[in-house]
Amino acid sequence: MRSASGARPPKDRADPANAPVLAAMELLGQRWVLRVLWELEPGRLGFLELRRRMDNCSSSMLSVRLQHLQSAGLIVKNTDKSYELTTAGTELGVALRDVWDWSRRWAATLTDPADRTV
């Protein structure tokens, strides 16, 4: 796989050059993280509204994920207690658009409509 610049990524996972990618994958692979980012993409939300949109995510788990995302610099908690994406969070959303577009195309190829909600 080549990056947008055409350079090949290091093949050895132990290579220090992989550390940022692995750290990002670890963060984004945590349950609810991508969903929080998805819900905040259109704009700021208060905790209760965000919780309402998060289906089965408990308040305590949402609090933990919000703290992780704040520590990672992807979201910020405003003085009015709402949350919104930082510049880095917005840039991540731009980077993920290709993945979201791919997922729509992939879901359309599934033969069982129940599989499309995965």
Read off the pLDDT of each residue in 14-31 and give the average, rounded to a whole number. Answer: 84
Averaged pLDDT of the chain: 87
DSSP 27-76: HHTSTTHHHHHHHHTTS-EEHHHHHHHTTT--HHHHHHHHHHHHHTTSEE
Q: 61-65, 92-96, 105-109, 112-116: which range is least confident on average?
A: 112-116
Q: Please give the residue that has the higher pLDDT: either 41 or 117.
A: 41
pLDDT at site 111: 76
Instruction: Give the pLDDT band (50/70/90) at residue 118.
Output: low
Q: Which residue has the higher pLDDT, 87 or 112?
A: 87
